[in-house]
Amino acid sequence: MDVQDPTRVRLIQAAGEEFAEKGFAAARVREICERAGANVAAVNYHFGDKEQLYVETVVHVHGCGNEEEPPCGEDAGPETRLRAFIGHFLARVLAIQDPQDWRHRLMLRELILPTAASDVLVRTVIRPKFNRLMEILRELRPEAEERRLHALAFSIVGQCMYYRMGRPVAERVIGSEGFESLDLEFLTEHISSFSLAAIKAMEFAPAAAEPDPAAAGVK
Amino acid sequence: MDVQDPTRVRLIQAAGEEFAEKGFAAARVREICERAGANVAAVNYHFGDKEQLYVETVVHVHGCGNEEEPPCGEDAGPETRLRAFIGHFLARVLAIQDPQDWRHRLMLRELILPTAASDVLVRTVIRPKFNRLMEILRELRPEAEERRLHALAFSIVGQCMYYRMGRPVAERVIGSEGFESLDLEFLTEHISSFSLAAIKAMEFAPAAAEPDPAAAGVK
Amino acid sequence: MDVQDPTRVRLIQAAGEEFAEKGFAAARVREICERAGANVAAVNYHFGDKEQLYVETVVHVHGCGNEEEPPCGEDAGPETRLRAFIGHFLARVLAIQDPQDWRHRLMLRELILPTAASDVLVRTVIRPKFNRLMEILRELRPEAEERRLHALAFSIVGQCMYYRMGRPVAERVIGSEGFESLDLEFLTEHISSFSLAAIKAMEFAPAAAEPDPAAAGVK
Amino acid sequence: MDVQDPTRVRLIQAAGEEFAEKGFAAARVREICERAGANVAAVNYHFGDKEQLYVETVVHVHGCGNEEEPPCGEDAGPETRLRAFIGHFLARVLAIQDPQDWRHRLMLRELILPTAASDVLVRTVIRPKFNRLMEILRELRPEAEERRLHALAFSIVGQCMYYRMGRPVAERVIGSEGFESLDLEFLTEHISSFSLAAIKAMEFAPAAAEPDPAAAGVK
DNA sequence: AATGAATGAGCCTTCATTCAT
DNA sequence: GATGAATGAAGGCTCATTCAT
């Protein structure tokens, strides 16, 4: 973390690549140290443990690129703020579009096998963001019950996240060129319009016990 | 599962659990064999290799539970068929809701580090399903260009898949009990209504070059 | 051994090749069985053991090609009989000149790491031959003490055996074509003349205690 | 052997014994390390591989005891130099008379299954020695054709080498005590006198095309 | 007589970690 | 602070052997 401790920083950098490429178990401490131009014992010296290095690496990953603030004022209308939220979210998702990108893989790994690092990330990064999204949705549909708001939020988040998580499969399904044409601008517009149209047009079922009448009501 | 439970089958079963829990590298052949009640050399005897066992395991995973046919006739309207599609998809997604479920993890692993097995899965399982969804969407909005149809399909798939991929995080964000309340029935209705409302209400931008006017048009 | 048990014979044949190529430890029972077109368990079934198979194989090796009788009558003079002996010996040595020949290697292996099979070979094959050579030498130099006769015999045997044992090195030293020009005819004549000239011309030291005077006497 | 006896040297020492006793395949890395008082992983750390260790061991074997220079001046007559050569050669051959001696077996193994190490040995050690012998023989019989000189050289080398290669068999044929009586002094005198007598008395066939007249001449 | 699925011992190798320097 | 030789635990894999068929 110190400016004056480049070895430590280089180790985290190298560890990120290695962990993302190989996973925790398959990652080799020797390889990490060689990539970082450090000694074999450097990891144990600086972090004490391979696992400790992993945790610090994961935390460091989310620390980067997170300093960005919401790109529009709080006084804007909920629709504008939702569009801004989606655009911002998608930008982050697509920014690491390269499947070789180690931050990409490292975070997906955390989804599968959440470690202690995940808890930190949820508390410091993810939940605040989620709460902001919930605020916007509540403004748009104040009468919606909490559960419905959660589902709405997940519908939005899911649409965005798919372009990170589903990329390898989606690319194989519709072809690389087809996938490439789905750029940030288009997707921001698409998901925003899709979601706002849905949010405005949906009729919420009065209670959870009777979803079918609501479904029929859509028609 | 069979009455006759040969060693080979038990090995794949055990391998699935082990690979899903630990990942490929961290998985121990010894553990797999012990779980299967077989000898240490059983894996090498039956599959020749740890990697071969992995491939066969992944392929076998998708083979299971895939025999189900679309739950509604082809002559039904597109809305009905879309609801059926979502319901069916969600059912599969939530069926393995247990984060300990090895099929869950095994498939997520393939998303991150696609192996040769992934190609087979896409060709035999995923692409056919995706094409069925595209047909439905084309019926609903025949004038939409291909790119837009892809985006629509991914919006739907993304919403559903999130409940598989995002589960660990989502659970930590809104709490387990909150997440549990989002059951299959509710989510099927929600995603179906959400998506159909959006599909019907959306106004598609005439060209990709001008997303902003379309965005303004929403309002 | 039975005419009606071809599997057993084929196993010995295959074992010979495998043992010669790889040595006892590196030889694989599976490979032997495959070469013999037999089952994996065939070796254990027919010979009980890998080691038993080895012993029977080595014995079988020397059994082949040993039925040849001395090519000249016992009433010939010692010089003629020595030439015949050398010619016969060399013929056997050079007959398996191919360094890939498994009998070659198998017998060399026995020289290095004599097993129980070696004892049998010495008793049944080698010692009788050696004694015949000793008889010839005794006729040529009846006054020579036993030790000298041994040395003479080993000088002759050594010259011949070198073309079996030293072949790989000799070939590298003087080149393959140079080595090839040393054919059976030439070598038989050479070693015979060389040895007979020596035997006739040598002056034996009266006692082992004074080799130097003898050495001086040569000059 | 050194005052500072580093692990690497001890490993080669121990490897030599183990490889000679058991052969490459049957040799156990664990045993080598235990003999060397080193860790199981020492071989892989220092040599990377069991095979690399073998190569380095074989090369090291011939390196030892090879620093000796020809024991007599170059200005001595060819007879004296031949005696010196034989004495020196025999000394090296008999020096490792103990059949348990690992250098003995290791070199014989190379004869049977020459590896890359053999090429090095031939080039650096064996061929120079062979050439010195050829020089001496050429002085003794300048009119001899190259092929004949080769045969002469091999006759001398073969006689000497037999006491290394044929030892296990020879001992069984004439008994241990008989073999023991053939000590360095006696054998040096014997082989020298035998060979010099032959070289001086032999009548070389005029051409390679007619070996038979020489054979006939014996009668 | 012959098979081949299954076994279990053991080997080479890898890898994170330590410790003297 | 940093090194690299050395460690020991453990893993994947091979192989001879067995046993029910």
Q: Does D64 touch chain C (CB under 8 A)?
A: no
Each residue of C47-83: pLDDT tens digit? 998 988 998 888 787 665 554 555 566 678 999 999 9
Cβ contact A44 with chain E strand, < 7 A: yes
CB contact under 8 A, D154 and C163: yes
- For A147, the closest of B170, B181, B201 (CB atoms) is B181
Angstroms from D133 CA to nearest CA on chain C: 12
Using a CB-CB cut-off of 8 Å, the residues of chain A touching B165 are 111, 161, 165
- For B111, the closest of A148, A168, A191 (CB atoms) is A168
**Number of neighbours of residue A131 by Cβ within 10 angstroms:** 11
Report d(CA B107, CA D159) in Å as an integer.
Answer: 72
Question: What pLDDT does residue C214 have?
Answer: 44
Using a CB-CB cut-off of 8 Å, the residues of chain B touching A188 are 211
Nearest CA in chain B to A124: B173
Question: What pLDDT does residue A115 have?
Answer: 72
Using a CB-CB cut-off of 8 Å, the residues of chain D touching C29 are none
Assigned token pair, B154: 């991914």
**Number of neighbours of residue C88 by Cβ within 10 angstroms:** 18
**Number of neighbours of residue D172 by Cβ within 10 angstroms:** 18
Nucleotide nearest the Cα atom of B46 (by C1'): E5
Counting as low any pLDDT under 50, the low residues of chain D are: 1-4, 67, 208-219
- State residue C100 phi and psi, 5-degree precision: -80, -15
- State residue C145 phi and psi, 5-degree precision: -75, 165
Q: Which residue has the higher pLDDT, B142 or C7?
A: B142
Angstroms from B32 CA to nearest CA on chain A: 17
Each residue of A112-134: pLDDT tens digit? 777 777 787 788 888 999 999 99
pTM of structure: 0.73
- For D182, the closest of C151, C161, C202 (CB atoms) is C151
Using a CB-CB cut-off of 8 Å, the residues of chain C touching D83 are 215
CB contact under 8 A, B23 and A83: no
Q: Residue B64 — pLDDT band, cuts 50, 70, 90? A: low
Cβ contact D46 with chain F strand, < 7 A: yes
End-to-end CA distance of chain B: 56
Cβ contact C29 with chain F strand, < 7 A: yes
- Cβ neighbourhood burial of B155 (10 Å; 0-12, 13-18, 19+): buried
Q: What domains lie within chain A, and their CATH numbers?
A: 6-61 (1.10.10.60), 78-201 (1.10.357.10)
Using a CB-CB cut-off of 8 Å, the residues of chain C touching D58 are none
- CA-nearest of A60, A80, A59 to A71 is A80
Residues 114-153 of B with CB under 7 A from strand F: none
Q: Which residue is nearest to nucleotide F1 (CA to C1')?
A: A45
Q: What is the residue-wise DSSP string for chain C?
A: --TT-HHHHHHHHHHHHHHHHHHHHH--HHHHHHHTT--TTHHHHHHSSHHHHHHHHHHHHHHTT--PPPSS-TTS-HHHHHHHHHHHHHHHHHHT--TT-HHHHHHHHHHHS--HHHHHHIIIIIHHHHHHHHHHHHHH-TTS-HHHHHHHHHHHHHHHHHHHHSHHHHHHHH-HHHHHTS-HHHHHHHHHHHHHHHHHH----SSTT-HHHHHHHH-
Q: How many angstroms separate the CA of A115 from the C1' of F4?
A: 32
CB contact under 8 A, B108 and A105: no
Cβ contact B40 with chain E strand, < 7 A: yes
Question: What pLDDT does residue C194 have?
Answer: 97
> Could you tell me the CA-to-CA distances from A11 to A42, A55, A58 in Å, in that order?
8, 13, 13
Assigned token pair, A152: 């709405």
Angstroms from B4 CA to nearest CA on chain A: 34
Counting as low any pLDDT under 70, the low residues of chain A are: 1-5, 62-74, 96-100, 104, 205-219
Which bases along strand F come within 7 Å of a protein CB atom? 1-19
CB contact under 8 A, D24 and C24: no
Question: What pLDDT does residue B213 have?
Answer: 45
Give the residue-averaged pLDDT of B100-127.
Answer: 76
Report d(CA A163, CA A89) in Å as an integer.
Answer: 11
Q: How many angstroms separate the CA of A39 from the C1' of E18?
A: 14
- For D191, the closest of C155, C178, C205 (CB atoms) is C155
Q: Mind listing the pLDDT tens digit of every residue in chain C (219 residues)?
A: 444 468 888 999 899 988 888 888 889 999 999 999 898 999 999 999 898 899 888 878 766 555 455 556 667 899 999 999 999 999 888 876 565 677 767 877 777 777 777 787 788 888 999 999 999 999 999 999 999 999 999 999 999 999 988 888 899 999 999 999 999 999 999 999 999 999 999 887 665 444 444 444 443
Q: Which residue shows structure tokens 């004490």? A: A48
Report d(CA A131, CA C167) in Å as an integer.
Answer: 85
